[in-house]
Amino acid sequence: MSEAAVLQNDPGSTGRFGQFGGCYIPETLVPACQELESAFRAAWSDPAFRDELDGLLSSYAGRPSPLTHCQRLSEDIGAEIYLKREDLNHTGSHKINNVLGQALLARRMGKTRLVAETGAGQHGVATATAAALFGLECEVYMGEVDMERQALNVFRMRLLGAVVRPATTGSRTLKDAVNEALRDWVATVETTHYCLGSVMGPHPYPWMVREFHRVIGSEARQQCLDLFGALPDLVVACVGGGSNAAGIFSGFATDPQVDLVGVEPEGAATVVRRVPGVLHGSMSYLLQDEHGQVLEAESISAGLDYPGVGPEHAHLASIGRAKYFSVNDQEVADAFALLSRTEGIVPALEPAHALAWVSKQRHDLAGRKVLINLSGRGDKDADQMMKYFAQ
């Protein structure tokens, strides 16, 4: 197997990406993960399932998302910048691709209820949206601290008909919300599907979620060929759990001439630091202290504050197929303002990390064609940035 082909692969029944991935879960969850794997395998090779999902992605989510060439930003940076516009999807980010896929799969499995974890609230809102669309019950676990910080998204989820439950253990943030959602799933697996929000967790989630986001990379690859008759030199995406990056990388993984770059916040630079460990059901890199205690991630962007990362990114980093870098909050704030000012596009703070890295590296990118995954729009961050710039 060529290393370039790794992202195209089915990780098999063990869910391994090199030494990473796998399924580190309590005995009681093993049947649920096995049932999910076989249901996904069957659905993903069923043309009727694929057609129904494609139909929803176009009629409901608004796909295909456009590819935008940024004239003024390109002049500013000195490279040719193209944006994959996931910010234009319904609910404002790439997350809708994954939740529509999982909700459709849940219905096919005869489940009537979705549970989900959420940090900043974006995946919770997306899951509540899909649950409303399909008439499924929905409960979202959210750290008590995050519920206070993201009161607007708590209201949105309730408006969409979801029940929001506070996670009151540990640091009362995303990591604890995942634990609560897993606990709920163990007890309710007969009726419930756990709609996990990124390419993390036990097998089959990292693989399944990447497949639901593959549409980003497939579209972008063809759009590049249509627009400028070639592939980009470089594809750049922000990395929290890693789902939007995995989605766009998958379109270019077998093109070794295309460089892949993932960008993390300095305060959650999981892949950059490369400390292996097990969290939430899989082996990957994670933020931990010398005693193996998981550390809190911290950045300007709540959507990237996850102390782990999807196992496939750990694998891609370890074999060198993708490279990972970090940027600081000030660089992100500058990039947030730069794209707004030059292109009339206000990015979410998460993809502003990818923009910030490109802006910082501009001297090495002269004349190159750079594709950035604009994973979401910045409306949700306007209030925070108003205060940040007023300081």
Ligand X SMILES: *Cc1c(COP(=O)(O)O)cnc(C)c1O
Q: For tokens 């195209």, name the residue.
A: 8
Residues that bind ligand X (CB under 6 A): 93, 95, 122, 198, 238-244, 303-304, 348, 350-351, 375-376
Q: How far is the CB of 98 from ligand X (least distance, A)?
A: 9
* CA nearest to 199, candidates 296, 98, 121: 98
Q: How far is the CB of 350 from ligand X (least distance, A)?
A: 3
**183 near 169, Cβ under 8 Å?**
no
Q: Which helix (H) or strand (E) holds 339?
A: helix 329-343
> Among this protein's residues, is 280 annotated catalytic?
no
Nearer to ligand X, 188 or 218 (CB): 218
Nearer to ligand X, 189 or 351 (CB): 351
* CA nearest to 93, candidates 356, 387, 345, 351: 351
Q: For tokens 């009362």, name the residue.
A: 172
Nearer to ligand X, 186 or 337 (CB): 337
**158 near 146, Cβ under 8 Å?**
no
Cα four-point dihedral sign 39, 41, 44, 46: negative
Q: How far is the CB of 43 from ligand X (least distance, A)?
A: 21
> Among this protein's residues, is 291 annotated catalytic?
no
Q: Three-state DSSP class for 148? A: helix
Nearer to ligand X, 11 or 378 (CB): 378
Collect all residues with Cβ–Cβ distance below 8 Å to 110 and sequence separation of at least 6: none
* CA nearest to 236, candidates 380, 359, 125, 66: 359
Nearer to ligand X, 117 or 176 (CB): 117
Nearer to ligand X, 147 or 189 (CB): 147
Q: Please pick, among 70, 138, 195, 224, the residue that the annotation labels catalytic.
A: 70
Q: For tokens 């931990």, name the residue.
A: 288
Q: Give Cα separations from 162 to 67, 136, 156 (angstroms).
A: 33, 9, 9
> Going edge to edge, which strands form the sheet with 16-17?
16-17, 20-21, 282-285, 276-279
Taking CB positions, which residue lies at the least distance from ligand X?
376
Tell me the sheet residues that pair with 55. none
Structure tokens that stand for 2 in this block: 């060529």
Q: How far apart are CA 370 and CA 233, in angstroms?
A: 6
Q: Which helix (H) or strand (E) holds 326?
A: strand 322-327
Q: Three-state DSSP class for 1? A: coil
- Judged on CB neighbours under 10 Å (0-12, 13-18, 19+), 259 is middle
Structure tokens that stand for 125 in this block: 């809102």
Nearer to ligand X, 178 or 238 (CB): 238
Q: Please pick, among 94, 203, 213, 313, the residue that the annotation labels catalytic.
A: 94
Any idea which residues carry the catalytic annotation?
A: 70, 94
